[in-house]
């Protein structure tokens, strides 16, 4: 199923790789380097009338703005995002604040480094059949 996908990732290389693979799978991709850019874009008419269905968000537990952005996504009407994928390191995955976020079935952790196939599967699979953490090792 082709979906509208939002990617928020500071690394230009990671953004480009995700864009290439997601587009090759038929998804429409909107890329942003920062939470501020993505937050502003979501207020624009084209995103309000046709919001992304999946958000891939690079998260760092020491960045308060990453939690604020995830909360902003979670507060949007339920139809706006079917799932929010937070991309975190193995060490960050055990952080208590992140664990609280993962209790919401809408938020899924993708542990870095991850396989492209895992990201593609998350973009295409309905959220209700996914575990709250995807780990590749």
Q: How many CB atoms lie within 10 A of CB 34?
A: 13
Check pLDDT > 90 for residue 77.
Answer: no
- Tokens for 37, please give them: 């850019």
Give me the pLDDT at residue 98, please: 83
Average pLDDT over residues 7-34: 95
Provide the pLDDT for residue 24. Answer: 95
pLDDT at 38: 94
CA distances to 24, 71, 78, 109 from 118, rounded to whole Å, are 15, 24, 24, 11
Residue 61 DSSP code: T
Match 């995002």 to its residue by tokens.
81
């Amino acid at each position: 199923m082709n979906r509208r996908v939002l990617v928020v990732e500071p690394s230009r290389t990671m953004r480009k790789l995700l864009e290439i693979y997601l587009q090759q799978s038929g998804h429409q991709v909107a890329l942003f380097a920062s939470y501020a850019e993505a937050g502003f874009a979501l207020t624009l008419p084209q995103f309000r009338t046709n919001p992304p269905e999946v958000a891939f968000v690079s998260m760092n537990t020491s960045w308060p703005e990453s939690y604020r952005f995830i909360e902003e996504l979670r507060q949007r009407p339920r139809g706006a995002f079917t799932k929010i994928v937070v991309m975190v390191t193995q060490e960050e995955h055990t952080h208590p604040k992140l664990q609280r976020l993962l209790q919401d079935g809408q938020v899924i952790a993708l542990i870095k480094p991850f396989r492209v196939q895992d990201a593609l599967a998350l973009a295409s699979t309905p959220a209700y059949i996914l575990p709250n953490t995807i780990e590749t090792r």
